[in-house]
C-alpha cells in the first residue's frame, strides 16, 4: 500500500485569510526533527499494493494533536474536519479527506505493534 500524495495545495487553501491563531503550532515545526520521526516509520504502509494510505508522518502528527488536546479518536476526526489549525499542522489541504477515527486507531495500534510508539513519544 503506497501513501497518498497530499503535497499540493488547492485553490481553496489560497483563500484562507492569514490569522495569528493559525500559526500557534508553527513553533513545534522548528523544535521537532520530523525527518527522524519519518525515518522510524518508513516501512509503515510501504507496500505498493492496495489502496493508498495516509502518510505516516501525517498520522503521527494527528496522534500528537490528539495527545496534546486530550481528544478521543472520534473527537480528533471531527476536530481535523473543522479546525484550520489542525489541518495546517498536519499539512492537510481543505480539499483533502480526513482520516476517520478507525484509521487513527489502527495507526496507533500499528505503532504499538512495531514498538515505535515509545521511540516516537
Q: Are 117 and 90 in contact (CB under 8 A)?
A: no
Task: Measure the CA–CA gap between 121 and 27, rounded to whole angstroms.
Answer: 18
pLDDT band at 59 (very low <50, low <70, confident <90, very high): very high
Question: Would the pLDDT of 12 be above 70?
Answer: no
pLDDT in tens, 16-53: 656 676 677 777 888 888 898 888 888 886 666 667 78
Q: Is the pTM of this model over 0.85?
A: no
**Measured on CA atoms in the order 91, 79, 48, 40, is the torsion positive or negative?**
positive
Question: Three-state DSSP class for 32?
Answer: coil
**Number of Cβ atoms within 10 Å of the Cβ of 55:** 21
Write out pLDDT tens, residues 72-96. Answer: 999 999 999 999 889 989 999 888 8
- CA dihedral 28→44→10→26, nearest 10 degrees, is 0
Confidence band, pLDDT 50/70/90 cuts, at residue 58: very high
**Other C-beta atoms lying within 10 Å of the C-beta of residue 83:** 14
Amino acid at each position: 500500500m503506497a501513501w497518498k500524495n497530499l503535497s499540493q495545495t488547492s485553490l481553496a487553501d489560497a483563500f484562507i485569510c492569514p490569522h495569528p491563531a493559525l500559526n500557534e503550532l508553527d513553533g513545534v515545526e522548528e523544535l521537532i526533527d520530523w525527518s527522524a520521526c519519518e525515518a522510524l516509520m518508513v516501512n509503515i504502509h510501504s507496500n505498493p499494493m492496495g489502496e493508498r494510505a495516509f502518510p505516516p508522518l501525517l498520522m503521527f502528527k494527528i496522534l500528537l494533536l490528539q495527545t496534546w488536546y486530550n481528544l478521543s479518536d472520534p473527537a480528533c476526526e471531527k476536530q481535523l474536519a473543522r479546525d484550520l489549525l489542525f489541518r495546517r499542522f498536519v499539512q492537510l489541504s481543505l480539499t483533502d479527506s480526513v482520516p476517520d477515527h478507525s484509521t487513527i486507531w489502527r495507526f496507533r495500534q500499528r505503532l504499538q505493534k512495531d514498538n515505535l510508539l515509545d521511540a516516537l513519544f
